[in-house]
Structure 1
Amino acid sequence: MAINKCKECGNKVSSHAKECPHCGVSSPVVTLGNLIWRISILFIVCFLVFSWVTSGNSIKKTSSNITNEPVIRVNIENILSDYKKNEIGADNKYKDHLIETSGTITSIKKDIMDKPYVTLSANNHFSIPEIQAYFNDSMNVVLGQLKNGSRLTVVCRIDGLMMNVLAKNCIIK
């Protein structure tokens, strides 16, 4: 039986004690197992929050606004190059704006929050960054018919760079 300090009052307490005899706090000693458990929970919560933020659930203009505002037509090589060269400059140019671009489909997937997306590159090869185009669930039937290596034209609202260029509320043109 080891003697440790109470996490609350700092007095000596047994590592097996259910509560501190001095201050009454329950589980007065933080064990390695407890610490690992707490860090694991924190990691999972952070991962879920990150996934939610990047999955298209942010409060932005929706695809219903697409017909009411101008669309910037941009070559996929240009937008990807702009983000590689200077993320801040590219955000100033594209973020929160509607863009229309065409690229080669490199993957068709769902993220951890079950949101469908398609990644587009300037060629058939995987590269970073790519455009990660998120779609509404209503597009699942259409997305299910797409093939890797095919060309796709989309209209999306750019949401910035998070490894890939995130494009939300996309529609297929």
Structure 2
Amino acid sequence: MAMKACKECGNEISSDAKKCPHCGKDQRNWFLQHKIITAILAIAVLMIIGSMGGEDTDTPSTSNKQSTNETAVTTKGQPQEPPMVVTVAKLVSDLDNNALNASNTYKGEYVEVTGTLVNIDSSGGYFTLEPYNDSFTFTNVQCFIEEEHLDAVAKFTDNQQVTVVGTITDVGEIMGYSLEVETIK
């Protein structure tokens, strides 16, 4: 049987001991001592890693900005199909019902989405749409914008109904949808 020194009192104890028989000090590492906190940290890390997923290379390019009167063109030079018209409430409902099916249905799709504005990033990188203004929900549509949209977004107000057209680049069961905005209506 292998022996080791106690972390607290220094007496020799079995290397398999969870607690020192002399002083009662827990010999397990911090993560094993705090299983709930460890689980929460692991989930948070996985959510962060999942939200940083890369963009698909086969999604339509959002760098080919078009006016709303012109036909959008994909990176392959083909005309863009008309956008799928959907509300944030429908997106969130579909995500709540079956996250995998929602991802298969909407990821990479060119959509026109309407929802309630609940947040504008102070640096102008994105704004957030929800089905209704609910500070207790995490599921939403995060709309990533280009510099050309900053003037329009700067005029938005909280709880305003906003309609955007763009491509859904990511779908996550916790945080919701990421959308690269092409136009704001």
CA distance in 1 between counterparts of 2:150 and 2:50 reads 20
**What's the CA shift string for 1:46-85, capped at 9, x where partnerless?**
9xx969946x877542232772222101122111111122
List gaps (5 residues or longer) in structure 1: 1-45
2:140 corresponds, among 100, 123, 130, to 130
**For structure 1, which segment, 58-67 or 74-83, has the greater mean C-alpha deviation from structure 2 after superposition?**
58-67
Cross-structure match for 2:30: none
**What's the CA shift string for 1:123-173, capped at 9, x where partnerless?**
122322111011112211211111111110011211222413111134202
CA distance in 2 between counterparts of 1:161 and 1:117 reads 16
Amino acid at match of 1:143: V
Secondary structure of 2:134's counterpart equals coil
Deviation at 1:87, TM superposition (A): 1.6
Amino acid at match of 1:124: N
**What's the CA shift string for 1:9-40, capped at 9, x where partnerless?**
xxxxxxxxxxxxxxxxxxxxxxxxxxxxxxxx
Cross-structure match for 1:158: 168
| Count of residues in correspondence between the two structures | 123
Cross-structure match for 2:87: 75
Tell whether the 8 Å contact from 1:74 to 1:101 is kept in structure 2 after alignment: yes
Percent identity, please: 22
1:61 matched to 2:56: no
CA distance in 2 between counterparts of 1:86 and 1:51 reads 17
**For structure 1, which segment, 72-81 or 156-165, has the greater mean C-alpha deviation from structure 2 after superposition?**
156-165
TM-score by length of 2: 0.56
Over 3 Å counting, the alpha-carbon distance change for 1:123 and 1:52 in structure 2 is closer
Tell whether the 8 Å contact from 1:132 to 1:165 is kept in structure 2 after alignment: yes
Over 3 Å counting, the alpha-carbon distance change for 1:52 and 1:168 in structure 2 is same
Cross-structure match for 1:168: 180
CA distance in 1 between counterparts of 2:181 and 2:101 reads 22
List gaps (5 residues or longer) in structure 2: 1-44, 66-70, 73-79
TM-score by length of 1: 0.60
Cross-structure match for 1:90: 102
Tell whether the 8 Å contact from 2:116 to 2:160 is kept in structure 1 after alignment: yes
CA distance in 2 between counterparts of 1:170 and 1:90 reads 21
- Aligned residues: CA RMSD: 3.0
Q: Which runs of 4+ in 1 moved over 3 A?
A: 49-54, 56-60
CA distance in 1 between counterparts of 2:56 and 2:147 reads 16
